[in-house]
């Protein structure tokens, strides 16, 4: 990838599962970036669905689930 290129990924897991993973990561990896539940919710509220003109690689839930364990 060139320095000026952007790669978008569309994660397709439910929001509740994403939050649960963030909170579990907080417990599992002390000393790493801590993301409080409220911080997650504030940041999540800033995201919007990808537009039809935005090309993204879709990551199915099965792959995101396997990657988090």
Per domain, the residue ranges of the chain are 8-68
Strand residue runs (E) in 1-69:
8-11, 56-59
Residue 22: CB atoms within 10 Å: 19
Which of the two residues, 28 and 65, has the higher pLDDT score?
28
pLDDT of residue 65: 52
Higher-scoring residue by pLDDT: 17, 65: 17
Q: How far apart are CA 44 and CA 16, in angstroms?
A: 11
- Does the structure show a pLDDT above 70 at 59? yes
CA–CA separation, 54 and 17 (whole Å): 25
Whole-angstrom Cα distance, residue 53 to residue 12? 18
Tens of pLDDT along 6-50? Answer: 888 888 888 999 999 999 999 999 889 999 999 999 999 998 888
């Amino acid at each position: 990838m060139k320095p000026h290129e952007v790669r978008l990924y569309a994660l397709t897991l439910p929001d509740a599962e994403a939050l649960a993973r963030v909170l579990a990561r907080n417990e599992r990896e002390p000393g790493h970036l801590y993301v409080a539940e409220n911080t997650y919710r504030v940041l999540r509220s800033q995201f919007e669905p990808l537009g039809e003109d935005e090309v993204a690689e879709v990551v199915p839930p099965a792959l995101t689930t396997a990657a988090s364990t």
